[in-house]
Amino acid sequence: MSELRHRQVPPEAEAALAAILAVEPAEERARLLANTISRAVAALHRLARDEAAARKGAPDWATWAKLVNASRQAVLQAATSRDIANSMGEKP
């Protein structure tokens, strides 16, 4: 188990986020944040899907299956956010 407490983020991730939050202009910052979250939730969804498949019939399968469903929704929302953020600054 990680040394980090629940809801903590690794220091490297905090540093990366701080670097993104310092980017100007705001449109570029939004693009970077949206692209980052999209990649992160896609990775979470893949992990949850793979673990749920591997644990079929095991006592912890249901928890992983719930994470698959929740992360699927997060993937869809993050993709929408990414698409909107990536269109910022484009000429109409």
The Cβ of residue 76 has, within 10 Å, a number of other Cβ atoms equal to 12
Q: Could you tell me which of 73, 83, 65, 4 has the C-alpha nearest to residue 41?
A: 73
Work out whether the CA dihedral 36, 40, 42, 43 comes out positive or negative: positive
Quote the DSSP letter at residue 3: S
Q: What angle do CA 23, 28, 29 make, to 5 degrees?
A: 50
The pLDDT tens digits for 17-69 are 999 999 999 999 999 999 999 999 999 999 999 999 999 999 999 999 999 99
Stated pTM of the model: 0.87
> Can you give the pLDDT at residue 25?
96
